[in-house]
Amino acid sequence: MIINSKTEQYSKLIKAEAKRLGFLSCGISKAGFLEEEAPRLENWLNKNQHGEMKYMENHFDKRLNPTLLVDDAKSVISLLLNYYPSEKQNSESYKISKYAYGQDYHFVIKEKLKEFLHTIQTEIGEVSGRAFVDSAPVLDKAWAAKSGLGWIGKNSNLLSQQVGSFYFIAELVVDLDLEYDYATTDHCGTCTACIDACPTEAIVAPYVVDGSKCISYFTIELKENIPLEMKGKMDDWMFGCDVCQDVCPWNRFSKSHNEPLFNPNPELISFTKKDWEEITEDTFKKVFKNSAVKRTKLEGLQRNIKFLK
């Protein structure tokens, strides 16, 4: 009984702290092996739907079981952080995925998680854990769904009835027993908006995205030349793609974030296609200082723009 009241008390404290740090929502699930995800991941890899993202083949067991990443892991605390912008790019421009408008989310969220873990350790005592932000073999969408933060939609994104899907997902895996949340139900229904709208037909079946056909893959992950058969199908996206999220009916509930670090450089918003075509190394560094877009480097962005012209 004491344990139950303790786990309840700790879980409330953790959720209150998540809210204080600016996270949209927080859900908790029991750490262990993701049985349902194992055959799906294996099938996806066997069909080579990860393309050149060979890192997806690594650490198969760890990807499915966080107890292999954190000694004596008991709980996965899943967190969502909104990135939906209040400002949009110039409509006469090449497009950048909304998640990359501001500073690189890895650093922004890592700082929050560091503070989060410190608070847990200060308030509760000796708790060991690790923070994950899309940087280790963790199936973050699966854990977020398991902890009731949403369901994995037909576009393979985590969807929520309250706030749609324009948010980052992060985790704290800790060696602490907590009160666990329940998975929610699927609310995609008969809707196929994302499947119908995908410019490259990357959503090959409901809930299955062939990553090797995705515009985000071509513009960010692929280091070779973009396949010629994609010419005219890229919908002016030069970094990432938001089409399957933009058309999702649940995203009409998206509200603008209140994280100043995610605010875009004014030039990113005002630039026209001509501005992007003439971008210099100095301007690139200025507009994308501390941005996720730096991953492609200027040459990668120029390659993408050239392909779109």
Residue ranges for the known binding site for tRNA are: 223
**What tokens appear for 254 in the block?**
């998206």
**Binding site for [4Fe-4S] cluster: residue ranges?**
188, 191, 194, 198, 214, 241, 244, 248
Q: Could you write out the three-class secondary structure of the chain? A: CHHHHHHHHHHHHHHHHHHHCCCCEEEEEECCCCCCHHHHHHHHHHCCCCCCCHHHHCCHHHHHCHHHCCCCCCEEEEEEEECCCCCCCCCCCCEECHHHCCCCHHHHHHHHHHHHHHHHHHHHCCCCEEEECCCCCCCHHHHHHHCCCCEECCCCCEEECCCECCEEEEEEEECCCCCCCCCCCCCCCCCCHHHHHCCCCCEEECCEECHHHCHHHHHHHCCCCCCHHHCCCCCCEEECCCHHHHCCHHHHHCCCCCCHHHCCCHHHHHCCHHHHHCCCHHHHHHHCCCCHHHHHHHHHHHHHHHHHC
Per the annotation, where are the binding residues?
63, 134, 155, 158, 169, 188, 191, 194, 198, 214, 216, 223, 241-242, 244, 248
Q: Which two tokens stand for residue 28?
A: 């908790």
Catalytic positions, written as ranges:
134
Residue set of the binding site for cob(II)alamin: 63, 134, 155, 158, 169, 216, 241-242
- Dist. CA 89–CA 269, nearest whole Å: 4
Question: Token match 């198969």: residue?
Answer: 60
What phi and psi, each to the nearest 5 degrees, are found at residue 178? -135, 180
